Structure 1
Amino acid sequence: MIETYSYRLQTLHWLDGVTLRLLLRPEGHRGLPIQAGQFFSLQLPSGITRSYSLACAPRGDGWLEAHIRLRAAGQASAWLRHEACPGQMLTISGPFGDCVWQAEQAAIDRVVMLATGTGIAPLKAMLEYAHAAGCRTPMHLYWGGAEDADLYLAEYFASLALRWPLLRFIPVLSNAPAEWTGRRGFVQDIAAADHPDLSRARVYACGAPRMVEQARALLTNHCHLPAERFHADAFVPAQTPVAIQGNLTVRWRRPQGDWLTVPAVEGDTLITALAAAGMRRAGCLRSLPCRHRFQLAEPAAATF
């Protein structure tokens, strides 16, 4: 079964006009055993759950950091705007996700990271972990947004690159103003142009599903990146979860090709049903499209 942990909301403050930084402190335990690149589920007082990436290197004191982009119609966003305050007790479950920092290998000559929006959070965790571990592999971080204001940690990464010569930070804007002196376009296209031969590279991509899938196809098909070295986690807004209606079961197709059947409760989301069954890979539902296929059994059926 998925482990749950009690955490206290320690701090929340704005990183920009729409993005909040949360710090969560473990209460009476050592903390969630999470790796750089993984994420956790946060249960709000209303009972709804949302998943957020760890936005810092794993800490010895067990504290968790999350970056949350608030949305106009989001239930979690409404709670964060109007009700959340330091001192509240919350329930955390996890960890989830397989897009984690990989140990250095002699065969890898560079690491390329692609992010859009708050997809930067897990890459920030990986970079901080790699920096602290003394990583000697050159790193290239591409972070894309529509406007300059979307890159809410640009100064942080520019400063880190000055202190860490192996890191190169490349901000990219798709709707850049005339005075913008950085790169223009989309991160996957810029990275492909900069790295036409990725045969000895490793790539991490986190952010919008369209970017992740385009990056996967472009870099593996045209830049010689081995498919197994493309590590990805796509973000889908949680304000429109896939809900289960009626008396259903969830069928989960594993990479080996066989199906597992899980009972589902009316009103639950798919991630909730899988997590309740103890499937650690349930977090894959946060990132559509993914390599697993899901079906709702009778009376309704759908494939994700």
Structure 2
Amino acid sequence: MTYRLRIEPSGHEMDCDADETILEAALRHGFNIPFSCRNGACGACKGRILEGRVDYGDVEEKALSAGEKEAGMALFCQAMPLSDVIIEVREIGAAKDIQIKTLPARVARMVDLAPDVRALFLKISASERLQFLPGQYIDILLKDGGRRGFSLANSPANDEFLELHIKRVAGGQFTTHVFAQMKEKDILRFEGPLGTFFVRQDSRRPLLMVATGTGFAPIKGMLEALFAQGDDRPIHFYWGVRHAEDFYYQELLMEWQRLHPHFRLTQVVSRPDAAWSGRSGYVIPQVLADIPDPGAFDVYICGHPDMVMDLSRALQGAGLNAEHIFADAFVFAKAKST
């Protein structure tokens, strides 16, 4: 069965099959609405049901509360239509002309960046080019049909290789392969670019960027592009890790601070040793202490989903409108149903 889906305020209308999510239908028709994890955990695709009924799907309480459901909210990566539906969500126009491709890539180089972080540099065919926006990600396609999403850490202007930062995850099928079996010249298949985590160019607001762990990867691509464009908006970047040795690309970060006076870096270690002399604790209290009135900022957050969700809520509580918060939560793959 097919239903009609209309997106407000744009007025775009399309067919939506009963067995596809609202997000899948919008993307299939070329309309880009916010999303990140696509499995109901991060909340990036949240919007309002104005008319009609939906099956809310597999959502976590933290991402969509019972009260939000009663208020008409839904996660469009999970919601499937049960009737014709009208939704309210802002569309992302900057990615609308970018083609999503499925391509093979060769592992050209592997570099260990930190004790549990390895960079993969992927080379696609010379006859192909992956057009993407800084901050977007690709899905590695596994032989068993699974997918693993990783942010692109390079900017489009530096696209000879696609750079991924892989965090070792205990028991992780793909990350174990990356650290134990993968070799240079291995061939991978991927789909991309995906996601709506990229800098909005139509804004001149100062930028607050916050990452934990390998959430630095898409921020790196964004910063490279901003600096290359000569964008002089004030930028304050907070990066939180567990141990000081988990930081990487330190020389690059120092160079950015030297060359770009409008760029400020704050690094935070949650489990410091005696040698660490910088900020200690968790990154959220550091951000809120430094910026008690965040209402003037555009905010870009990437990392652990709890940090992304908690910081987003805290910033809104401090007066920042949600439309100025852009987030990408790193969510581990869910186990397949049996």
Given the two structures, how large is their TM-score scaled by the length of structure 1? 0.74
- Match among 235, 256, 278 for residue 182 of structure 1: 278
Aligned to 2:262: 166
CA pair 98-86 structure 1, distance change in 2 beyond 3 A: same
Residue-by-residue CA offset, 1:207-262 (whole Å, 9 max, x unaligned): 0111111111111112x211101111111233xx24244xxxxxxxxxxxxxxxxx
- Read off the aligned partner of 2:137 and give its amino acid letter: F
* Distance in 1 separating the partners of 2:159 and 2:241: 33
| Cα drift, residue 168 of structure 1 | 0.5
Aligned: 1:128 with 2:128: no
Residue-by-residue CA offset, 1:158-206 (whole Å, 9 max, x unaligned): 2221121111010011122244221122222111111122222110110
Residue-by-residue CA offset, 1:35-84 (whole Å, 9 max, x unaligned): 11110011245654311000111146453100001123111123212332
* Distance in 2 separating the partners of 1:104 and 1:84: 41
Aligned to 2:170: 72
Contact map agreement 1:37 1:126 (CA 8 A) in 2: yes
Aligned to 1:233: 328
Aligned to 1:243: 336
Contact map agreement 1:30 1:61 (CA 8 A) in 2: no
Aligned: 1:203 with 2:299: yes
Aligned to 1:94: 192
- Read off the aligned partner of 2:330 and give its amino acid letter: F
What is the root-mean-square deviation in Å for CA atoms of aligned residues? Answer: 1.9
* Distance in 2 separating the partners of 1:47 and 1:78: 17
Percent of aligned pairs with the same amino acid: 34
Contact map agreement 2:157 2:225 (CA 8 A) in 1: no
Aligned to 2:55: none
Q: Which runs of 5+ in 1 are unaligned?
A: 246-304
* Distance in 2 separating the partners of 1:199 and 1:140: 14
- Read off the aligned partner of 2:223 and give its amino acid letter: L
* Distance in 1 separating the partners of 2:311 and 2:249: 22
Contact map agreement 2:118 2:166 (CA 8 A) in 1: yes
Aligned to 1:33: 131
| Cα drift, residue 104 of structure 1 | 5.1
1:5-84 equivalence runs, <5 A: 5-44=103-142, 48-59=146-157, 61=159, 63-84=161-182
Given the two structures, how large is their TM-score scaled by the length of structure 2? 0.67
Figure out how many residues of one structure are paired with residues of the other and give that number. Answer: 240
* Distance in 1 separating the partners of 2:138 and 2:269: 29
SS at match of 2:156: coil
| Cα drift, residue 28 of structure 1 | 4.6
* Distance in 2 separating the partners of 1:43 and 1:59: 25
CA pair 194-60 structure 1, distance change in 2 beyond 3 A: closer
Aligned: 1:214 with 2:310: yes
Q: Which runs of 5+ in 2 are unaligned?
A: 1-27, 29-99
* Distance in 2 separating the partners of 1:62 and 1:112: 29
- Match among 111, 126, 137 for residue 233 of structure 2: 137
SS at match of 1:243: coil
| Cα drift, residue 120 of structure 1 | 0.7
CA pair 31-45 structure 1, distance change in 2 beyond 3 A: farther
CA pair 90-201 structure 1, distance change in 2 beyond 3 A: same
- Read off the aligned partner of 1:235 and give its amino acid letter: F
SS at match of 1:216: helix
Aligned to 1:154: 250
Contact map agreement 2:101 2:192 (CA 8 A) in 1: yes
- Read off the aligned partner of 2:298 and give its amino acid letter: R
SS at match of 1:237: coil
* Distance in 2 separating the partners of 1:19 and 1:47: 25
- Read off the aligned partner of 2:221 and give its amino acid letter: A
SS at match of 1:15: strand
Residue-by-residue CA offset, 1:78-113 (whole Å, 9 max, x unaligned): 32123322222221102111111111524x1x1011
Residue-by-residue CA offset, 1:273-303 (whole Å, 9 max, x unaligned): xxxxxxxxxxxxxxxxxxxxxxxxxxxxxxx
